[in-house]
Structure 1
Amino acid sequence: MLHALQSTPIALVDNAPKGTQLKLLLLLEGNQKLYFKPKRYNLEHVINGKIYAGFDRHNSEVFAYYLAMVLNFKWIPPSVIRKVHLDNDILPVATSGLRKTMLKNSKGTLCIYGKCFYCKINETVCPDDNGEVEGAAILYLDKQLKVYKSPWRRSYNAKKMEWEIDRDYCVKIKGSLSTRHLLNLIEVSLFDFLIQNGDRHRYEVYKEQIILLDNGKGLGNPLVDELDILAPLYQCCMLPTSTWQHLEILSGGNLSDTIKLLSKFQGIKLATEEHFKAIERRLLKIYATVQYCIGRYGSSKVFRSGF
């Protein structure tokens, strides 16, 4: 399936219908749809500033897929690194709407600025010297997903959210969500903390399971660990027993080593060594947070079986 996402010829290309960042909607031969999120930065580029700063990182989308695989979180669409040739793969099958969001830069190269909430005509994606655009090809989930605002979403301004000032915030959340749903949100916080995705302001649910879409804000700065991404864990102090047992076997470098091993099948480097070191460091902080919860409430209250 990953090979098919990476190599099946493209039958039609259009601007993706919604979103805050430039991405394309690809229809492959055989009628499978993909989202294509183009490369904006080199792997070594460090994003400074707010946790949600900068463009989406295409490699974060693919890294997130492999991370979820290793964590046994089966709730994320398959993603691969794919290169498309602008003249050969895109232009012949581009819709008129997409063509209207293309222009030539000062070098005479045709580039794309797209159609989205934050898309600007002066912030284009251009092909490399080979005429190719690299990006993340993400399987399009053609299902009706329920959309919810995250209880731990950020304000994106100076205003403090309730979860940032109320020490008993989780008591309120427990009254409005099922235990299963809350545990799922806590698992998502572990995942987001590892890649430092602080932009999970909403989430999608299919058949009572959270689906991890839109993981492009990860892998910004390997030197920063925003601990408040773990707020669902340290405020609620709950975790499925099976998730904790799985986390324990990933210690000692196993998490990074397994991601590297799996990603070798694509033959493309997904992150710098600094990011892999950061993943291991953040895993230790997750362990420490769980130990804090155990010390405060006891293992029987923290670990929940049957979920």
Structure 2
Amino acid sequence: MALPLFKRKFKVVAVTLLLTMCALHIALDLLPRLSSGAPSVARGGSTCSCAPSAAGDALGRVFSNLSGVSGAAGLGPASPSIRGSSRLLALFQQPVYRTAGPALDEKNRLLTVRSIGHLDSRKEADSDGWTSDLEYPAPMLPTGLDAYMRYPTWLKFHLGINKNALYARHDPVVEDLLNDLRRQKVVTVVMKSGGTQLKLIMTFENYGQALFKPIKQTREQETPPDFFYFSDFERHNAEIAAFHLDRILDFRRVPPAAGRIVNITSEIRDVTQEKKLLKTFYISPANNMCFYGECSYYCSTEHALCGRPDLLEASMAAFLPDTLLAKRKTWRNPWRRSYNKRKKAEWELNPEYCEQVKKTPPYNSGTRLLDVIDMMVFDFLTGNMDRHHYDTFEKFGNDSFLLHFDNGRGFGKHSHDELSILAPLQQCCRLRRSTYLKLRLLARPVHRLSDVMRESLARDMLAPLLTEQHLAALDRRVSIVLRNVRHCVRVYGVEIVLDADTDLHLEAGLKHQEHMRTGDVPD
């Protein structure tokens, strides 16, 4: 009799304990979330499986879990909560971030379901490593909203690319794609051909792909002063930070990138069939799993990638559509450096160099010159001196945005501002009005770039991604760009310098408009 009685008492205690835990969970977790209107999500997870009904809902979905990670150790000043005083959300609610773009018809979209549906099965990857060699899920994709919701995230991303940007503002698909880059199961790995440093192409279980760049330096290490720009290490955190900066500037020209902790053994060695890669794995004297792969410069035991014991930080950048579907054209950057230890490029010697560029196609018409200046302002903010080429999609001709690939050599020096990167702005004295307006916002205390970057980066798995010194350098460089614009306006006038790509006034008040007429553009 004692044993059945004991069992009954144990059941009562267990049920009581379970009910108590449920009550505590409701009181401490669910009720505060419900009362504040914030969805309950796990770190890095999406908040809702339904499509947002308005831009505000999409914003809430994209940034709803910022507050969940803002207090993590080592992040510096805590980021404001999304429902409280989120600087990032407040920035994106400004008029310049809410202007309606031109209507997009089928010809202004890079891909359609029809064009993808007729793609042959598996194709060879393009040599630049940014093109997918995946096999699309079916010979002909089903159409309609219900079918679209069942597409894998990477396919939704591809279908969203248009002539203006890689993705729409506040598109929740981007957040879902970042989560896939962090969490999707890796099924195959191959080395990316070419390049001075090792990069891997990882294929996921859902046929999506990512470009893997491993950690090479700690966050605190700066580029040695005696290093040339073309021999610097590529930084995985720079790739991720560049994506966030690009989104904050509203360019949307950098492929989405996220941080990930990769298991070298199970997610690289055990799934690759590439013999050249397999033969470079070894166990270090510290009993860590290491490998170095093959590349033209930093691939040897002296530059091996070692886990702790087999876990390694890396950036994962989303791939673009196969070039069989979306051909791209590579252009030489007019302000390309010489890549020579003794020689300088022509633009470094000729202050009137821009006049030559403006007479040369495609820079003599359209928006291409302004696109390049935007790109170089972006590179100045990150400190990237390695922009030798850029790509565009052939489908859109010369009337398209520039793809900002390979940002790994950014964020190398927080203590030095490389003013020569701003040569296109200084020599041409041209800038989009929308770019100027966004930089003006990011220079103000309420929208300070360092604060919105800190808040945006805080939600990445590898946060903190930038040191406080690098964040402070962003603020300093925004001021430098604005000073250059002010100088140009004083020389040439605002109508010449700032291209009217938006109907928004430079400021709401007449006082600032008077400043612009007199050439006094405040920082």
Determine if the alignment matches structure 1 residue 79 to structure 2 residue 273.
Answer: no
Shift of 1:295: 1.0
2: CA distance, partners of 1:112 / 1:251:
44
Residues 28-74 of structure 1: per-residue CA shift (max 9 Å, x gap)? 11111100000001101111223444210110000000000110011
What is the Cα deviation at residue 255 of structure 1?
1.1
After TM superposition, give the deviation of residue 305 of structure 1 in Å: 1.7
- TM-score (normalised: structure 1): 0.95
| Higher CA-based Rg | 2
Contact 1:189–1:229 (8 Å) recurs in 2: yes
Q: Which residue of 2 aligns with 1:128?
A: 308
CA shift digits 1:129-154 (9 cap, x unpaired): 3x211110000113432111111111
Distance in 2 (CA, whole Å) between partners of 1:21 and 1:149 is 22
Whole-angstrom CA distance in 2 between matches of 1:289 and 1:302: 11
Aligned position for 2:376? 189
Residue ranges of structure 1 left out of the alignment (5+ in a row): none
CA distance in 2, matches of 1:187, 1:152: 13
- Given that 1:47 and 1:53 are in contact with CA atoms closer than 8 Å, whether structure 2 keeps it comes out as no
Residue 170 in structure 1 maps to residue 357 in structure 2: no
How many residue pairs match? The answer is 306
Partner of 2:203: 27
Q: Is the 8 A contact 2:432 2:499 kept in 1?
A: yes
In structure 2, the residue matched to 1:45 is: 221
The CA distance in 2 between the partners of 1:108 and 1:274, in whole Å, is 34
CA distance in 2, matches of 1:54, 1:75: 24
Aligned to 1:257: 451
Greater strand share, structure number? 1
TM-score normalized by structure 2? Answer: 0.57
Residue type at the aligned position of 2:299: K
SS at match of 2:277: helix
Contact 2:190 2:202 in 1 (8 A): yes
Distance 1:59 1:166 in 2: 35
Q: Deviations over 1:188-222 (max 9, x none)?
A: 01100001000001111123321011000011111
- Report SS of the residue matched to 2:297: coil
User: How far, CA to CA, are the matches of 2:277 and 2:224 in structure 1?
Assistant: 31
Q: In the TM superposition, what are the counterparts of 1:54-69 in structure 2 within 5 Å? A: 54-69=232-247
Residue range with higher mean Cα deviation, 141-150 or 222-231:
141-150
Whole-angstrom distance in 2 between the partners of 1:90 and 1:124: 14
What is the CA–CA distance in structure 2 between the aligned matches of 1:241 and 1:196, rounded to whole Å?
23
CA deviation map 1:173-199 (0-9, x unaligned) = 011123411100000011000010000
Q: Determine if contact 1:51/1:226 at 8 Å carries over to the other structure.
A: no
Aligned mates of 1:161, 1:261 — CA distance in 2: 38
Amino acid at match of 1:192: D
Alignment of 1:1-307 (within 5 A): 1-49=177-225, 50-96=228-274, 97-121=276-300, 122-129=302-309, 131-142=310-321, 143=323, 144-156=327-339, 157-176=341-360, 177=363, 178-206=365-393, 207=396, 208-253=400-445, 254-267=448-461, 268-306=463-501
* Percent of aligned pairs sharing the same letter: 34
Greater shift, 97-106 or 43-52, is seen at 97-106
Q: In structure 2, do the counterparts of structure 1 residues 117 and 53 end up closer, same or farther at CA, with 3 Å as the change threshold?
A: closer
Taking the aligned partners of 2:413 and 2:308, their CA distance within structure 1 comes to: 25
CA contact 1:33–1:140 (8 Å) conserved in 2: yes
Task: Please list every run of 5 or more consecutive structure 2 residues that lacks an aligned counterpart in the other structure.
Answer: 1-176, 503-523
- Deviation by residue 1:203-244 (Cα, 9 ceiling, x = unmatched): 111233210110000111110001000001001100111111
